[in-house]
Amino acid sequence: MIQIHEDKCIRCLRCADKCVCGAIEVRDGRPVINRDKGCIKCMHCAIACPENAITYNGQPAIESEEMPVLADTFSADMENFLLESFDLASIFDITTGELYALCDQIKDGTLENTVDSSDVTGKQGMLLASLDRNKAATITWNNAYLVAGLLAAQAGTDIEEASEDNKITVPNFERVSCDSDTTAKLTYVPVGATGAEVARIWRVNKDATQGDELTVAADAPVKGKSFTVNAAEKTITFAADDFKKGDEIYVSYEHEITVGRKISNVADHFAKNARILIDCTVAEKCDNNIKHHAILEIPVAKIDGNYSLEVGDEPAVHAFSAKTLVDVCSKSQILWNMYLVA
């Protein structure tokens, strides 16, 4: 986290002047970080500070190994530079400015620009003109971690947050050992129709396969056929001689959480439109050790709803893609902007 230390700050306000996203505000003559405005950690504020009053994760920002050392001016010109990496991508709601997601572990990325051309030919096939149309761009990247907000934006839904006032029901299937000859203890408190919060269980065979099924009974359990459940005690009770201590069962039930999240993919909801800011690292042509930040802005983009979640020997990555759109509510037809910030 970026922090301004008041004991070192001399209130020169250079950091506020250099902030490219307006996240540093001036209040009562001193700079304050407004975290609701989406600080992109470009670190221009730290570079501008003459007193090293700004730190990143508790370290002087320009010395942190997590951030590149940035020059405060271009040594030559801004015409030639190397685009080294996408460092941080911020995805916003285009209307409200709500921050959907942050991707800060981007392994690779591409900005592909395309245009359709129609050739006009004359006699003997001579090329007379080439007419361009349908200009477009597509941004793609792979993030090393799955990002919940990004997954919801791709699905076209919102994250549901669990709380005491909004309990989320979660399905659960678990393997439980009997703690006595007649009882087994569940991990969570089951929910559902009173007395039938757990509808059925299965014996676990020696080879871990599914064995005989038992169903819930309204009254006393019947050997080989049924069981009873006490939801408050998280306890399942069997008939005598049906199980022995240490035997295992499979149990399917639902329980409620007050801490957690739910992301749904709904058939009639589609990927969202968004404003995208990508913080990039660029290097100077003549001295690649001199780094700068660039900001790639896509004012309006349509997030691609085609994506896959894969698991295997390698950790899954979160693949993202979006197409630039023209803002029909604006006179501008800008597809993207790149800001080279000295």
Q: What is the CATH code for 81-159+267-341? A: 2.30.110
Which residues, in sequence order, are CB contacts of 177 under 8 Å at separation 6+? 184, 246, 247, 248
d(CA 34, CA 26): 10
Q: How far is CA 301 from CA 275, 297, 335, in A?
A: 6, 10, 9
Q: Please list the residue range(s) of the chain that carry CATH number 2.60.40.
A: 168-262
d(CA 191, CA 110): 47
Minimal CA–CA distance to 100: which of 328, 271, 259?
271
- Check if the beta carbon of residue 221 is closer than 8 Å to that of residue 237: yes
Architecture of the CATH domain 168-262:
Sandwich (2.60)
The pTM for the full model equals 0.73
Q: Please list the residue range(s) of the chain that carry CATH number 2.30.110.
A: 81-159+267-341
User: What is the model's pLDDT at position 17?
Assistant: 81
User: What is the model's pLDDT at position 277?
Assistant: 94
d(CA 202, CA 180): 17
User: What is the model's pLDDT at position 64?
Assistant: 46
Q: Where are the alpha helices (DSSP H) in 141-262?
A: 148-155
Q: Please list the residue range(s) of the chain that carry CATH number 3.30.70.20.
A: 2-63
Written as one letter, the residue type at 128 is L
CA end-to-end distance (rounded Å), the chain: 23
Q: What is the DSSP string of 3-24?
A: EE-TTT-----HHHHH-TTS-E
Minimal CA–CA distance to 140: which of 321, 336, 324?
321
| Residue tagged 């690292």 (tokens) | 281
- One digit per residue, the tens of pLDDT, for the chain of length 342 reads 788 999 999 999 988 887 767 789 999 989 998 877 667 666 778 877 888 898 876 766 554 444 444 555 545 556 788 899 999 999 999 988 899 999 999 999 999 999 999 999 999 899 999 999 999 999 999 999 999 999 999 999 999 999 999 999 999 999 999 999 999 999 999 999 999 999 999 999 999 999 999 999 999 999 999 999 999 999 999 999 999 999 999 999 999 999 999 999 999 999 999 999 999 988 888 878 888 888 999 999 999 999 988 888 877 789 999 999 998 887 788 999 998 875
Architecture of the CATH domain 2-63:
2-Layer Sandwich (3.30)
